[in-house]
Structure 1
Amino acid sequence: MSQTVVLKVEMTCQGCVGAVQRVLGKMEGVESFDVNLEEKKVTVNGNVDPEAVLQKVSKTGRATSFWDESAPPSA
């Protein structure tokens, strides 16, 4: 079943973005993804387990959590 997983990832540069894109590109079940450096937001679409996506992105060494829509945007 296809679903969307939205994560908050502490990224500071294009190198961080590249690392996240590399792990998502190799992950089984991922159909598409969007990495937004400015918002520190990663959106993943596909037949994936949200917890597995979180763990995979965390392995890049960046602080990663599920996106909380009710949280105020960080300045």
Structure 2
Amino acid sequence: MANVVEVKVGLHCDECIKKILKIIKKIEDIETYNVDKQLNKVIVTGNVTTEEVIKVLHKNGKNAIPWEDVKPNPIAELKITL
């Protein structure tokens, strides 16, 4: 059964995204991967764990944390009603 791994990674520019995709593609046993530039989120499915994905990204100089550890931005959640 495939795991869904979600991590937060700095996706500041197209070069960062290219580097991260190159890193992710080398991980064994992945089935799919997706990058959400707006959320700075990488989603990987396959026979991998969150720890494995983070370890590979850290080894290649990219800071990554599990998505569940990301704190919500209260400012972004504010809704102005008139």
- For the aligned pair, the TM-score class normalised by the smaller chain equals 0.7 to 0.9
Distance 1:70 1:8 in 2: 7
| Sequence identity (%) | 31
Please report the TM-score for the alignment, with normalisation by the length of structure 1.
Answer: 0.85
Q: What stretches of structure 1 of length at least 5 have no aligned partner?
A: none
* Superposed structure 1 runs of 4+ greater than 6 Å apart: none
Change beyond 3 A, Cα 1:64–1:70: closer
Q: Is 1:56 aligned to residue 56 of structure 2? A: yes
The structure carrying a bigger helix percent of its residues is 2
Please report the TM-score for the alignment, with normalisation by the length of structure 2.
Answer: 0.79
Give the 3-state SS of the residue equivalent to 2:7 in structure 1: strand
Q: What stretches of structure 2 of length at least 5 have no aligned partner?
A: 77-82
- Superposition RMSD in Å: 2.0
Assess if the C-alpha contact under 8 Å between 1:6 and 1:66 holds in 2.
yes
Structure of greater Rg = 2
Question: Which is further off, 52-61 or 40-49?
Answer: 52-61
For residues 7-44 of structure 1, the C-alpha deviation after alignment (integer angstroms, 9 at most, x for no partner) is: 00012001111111001111101100001111100000
Partner residue in 2 for 1:9: 9
